Structure 1
C-alpha cells in the first residue's frame, strides 16, 4: 500500500524530536505492507480521507518509532473485521465509517489502517469522505467539553420543543468561537437541550453573521465581556492566556470552566498561585479520549442538519508535504486540511 512516513534525519543532523521536529521534507510517500488486524475487536479500514493537524510533527508519538505513519482522523470503508469477545462485531465488510485512532497509534496517512471498533462509527450519509474525516477530533473535543465535562444535556430527539422551551436555562460562553474547534463547539452547544449560546470573537464584524448561522444566540467581542460578572453556567475556552484568566470573572458560582487550549494544560494550578481561581467553580483542562458514542452522536447531528463539517483544503496523498505546509500557514479558510486517497 501507499503510505506517508516520517523519514529520520540523516547524520550529521541530530535526530528528530518534539523539540527538534522534522520539517515537511521528511514526509515521504512509500510502499509498505498492508497491516493485518489481529486483536479482537479490531477493523481494517480502506482509508478514503484523513486530516492534517497543525504542528503534528511536534507530537511525541511521531517519534515513538522510526518511519512512523502520521494521522488520526479518518473516513473509509471496512475491509476486514476481527470480532470481539463472543464473536460479535458492530461492523461488516463494506460499511462506510469514520473515526479517530488513539493519539499514541497514529497510522491513517495510508491506504489502509487497523483501528479498534471503539474508535469507529458509521459515516453520516449527508457528508462525503472529506467532510466525515474532518469531524472526529474537533467534534469529539466539543462533545466531551460540553456534555461530559460541562454538564450540558444531550438533545431530546423525541421532544421537538425541548430546546425552545428550555432555551434560557443555561448560559454557555465559547471563546475562540470562530476557530477550528470553536465552530464545532458553537454548533454542538446550540443543539444541546436548554442552552443559550454566546460566541466570543475578536471581530463581530468579520465573524458575527457566520457564528449566528452556526447557532449562536449572541456574538460578542472580548472587550465587551469586561465587567460581566458570573453570567455563564458553562465556559469552554479554546484560546488560553489572558482570555482564559478573565473567564474566572465570567463564570457563575457552581459553574464549569473548561479549557481545550493545549498550552493551558496546568491553568488551574497556575491561576490558583496567582490568586485568580475561585472556589466553587469546576475548572479543568482535558485531552480528548474519543468514543464510538461521541462519533455516533456527531453523525446523527450531521444527518439531522444540525452540524456542518468544514474543510479548508483538500490534497491528494502525494502532495502531503504541500498540505502540511498549508495547514501550518496562515490560511484563511475554515476547518480542516484533508488528505485524500
Structure 2
C-alpha cells in the first residue's frame, strides 16, 4: 500500500480537537447558505470499520449545489449546520479496530456520499476510500471519485463496452462526460460526443485526435474523437442509422432521448444520469412524472419498440476506484481536467466555486485546496 511520510506529523496524538470546515446553514445560494467555521469539532471517535482522513483537497460536483439549494430536499434532508461536499483526498491519520485494507499514512481518495467532505478532517467507513493514484496530486485525485465512478459504472457495469463498441456521449465536456470519453477510448471503442465551440478546447486537453469533420461520420475511426457542435447540429440527424451501441447522456433533456433513438442500433442502450428535466427541483409531482416516463420507456424497450432506457444511479464501490487507479489512471489512460483550484480557507472562493458549478461554464473539474501538494 502507498503512504505519505510527509503527512505523518498529523497522525495520532497530533490530531487537534477543532478544525475548519464549510458549514451549510440552510438552503439557498452559496453566499447565503454556506459559511466557513474554524471551531468545528474533529470527529475523532471511530467505529470499528471507520477511518479518519486529514483532507488535502476537495472537489465540487453538480449535485453539491443542488443539495445546497434544496433542489433535492425531498430525497435528502439535513439538520443544520451541516458539512457539505462529497469528493476528497488526503492522508489516513487513524483507523478503527476492524480496518484491514487501509492503514495510517496511506494517501487515499474517496466519495463521502451526501456530505461531510468539505472539512480538514473527515470520518467515514473504510469502504468509501481507495488508495490515491500515485501519478496524481491530491487536488487532481479529489476531482475523480463521483464523476469518475459514475462514468465507470455506466459504461462498464450496465453491459461492458469493448473495442468493437460505438459510444456516443451527450455532454463530452461535463465532469462525467470527460471521464466517459477516456474510459471508452481506453478500451478501444469508437467514441463521439457533443460539445459547444466554447468547450472544444476542454475536449482537446484529453490529447486525442479531435475531428469536427462531419464527412468522417460514415467511416468511423477508432483513433479519432468525433465532436459534434450541438449549437449547430442535431446529433440524431447527423448520425442517423449509424448503429451506435451506447448513448451516454450526461446533460439531460428529452431531446437527448429523441435523438438517441435515431442513432442506436437494435438492442442499443440509452444510459442517462440526469433525466428529462435537469434544471427542475425534485418535487413529488416531478418525481411521479419522471418515474412514469421512465416506466413508459422501459416498457417499450422490453417489447422491442425502442432501445433500452437506463436511468443510472451511482452505487459506490471502492473497488471501482481501485480499478480506475490501477488500470486507467496510473497507466496514463485517464486523467482529470481541472478548471480551477480554489483556496479552501477563503469563503468567497468557496462561494465562487459553487456559483461556477451552477453556471455550467466550468471547463473541467473545480477543486478547493486545503494543503498544498
TM (normalized to structure 2)? 0.74
Aligned match for 1:74, one of 58, 73, 88: 88
**Which residue of structure 2 aligns with residue 28 of structure 1?**
35
Aligned: 1:249 with 2:275: no
Aligned: 1:149 with 2:158: yes
| Displacement of 1:231 | 1.0
Which stretch has the larger CA shift, 46-55 or 57-66? 57-66
Gaps of 5+ in 1: 9-15, 154-166
**Which residue of structure 2 aligns with residue 163 of structure 1?**
none
Q: 1:150 to 1:236 in 2, by over 3 A?
A: farther
**C-alpha RMSD over aligned residues:** 2.9
**Which residue of structure 2 aligns with residue 315 of structure 1?**
342
Distance, in Å, in 1 between the alignment partners of 2:196 and 2:360 is 17
| Displacement of 1:298 | 2.0
Trace 1:1-341 onto structure 2 (pairs within 5 A).
1-8=19-26, 16=27, 21-30=28-37, 31-54=39-62, 55=65, 56-58=67-69, 59-60=72-73, 63-84=77-98, 88-103=99-114, 106-152=115-161, 167=163, 169-192=164-187, 194-203=188-197, 206=200, 209-210=204-205, 213=208, 217-222=225-230, 223=233, 224-226=235-237, 228-229=240-241, 231-241=243-253, 242-261=255-274, 263=277, 269-270=292-293, 278=301, 279-280=303-304, 281-300=307-326, 301-329=328-356, 330=359, 332-341=361-370
Q: 1:274 to 1:197 in 2, by over 3 A?
A: closer
| Number of residue pairs aligned between Structure 1 and Structure 2 | 310
Distance, in Å, in 2 between the alignment partners of 1:245 and 1:318 is 45
| Displacement of 1:219 | 2.3
Q: 1:46 to 1:269 in 2, by over 3 A?
A: same
| Contact 2:173/2:195, CA 8 A, preserved across alignment | yes
TM (normalized to structure 1)? 0.81
Distance, in Å, in 1 between the alignment partners of 2:347 and 2:76 is 15
Q: 1:92 to 1:271 in 2, by over 3 A?
A: closer
Distance, in Å, in 2 between the alignment partners of 1:36 and 1:132 is 24
| Contact 1:75/1:97, CA 8 A, preserved across alignment | yes
> In structure 1, the residue corresponding to 2:180 is in which secondary structure?
helix
| Contact 1:256/1:282, CA 8 A, preserved across alignment | yes
| Displacement of 1:46 | 0.4
Gaps of 5+ in 2: 1-18, 210-222, 279-286
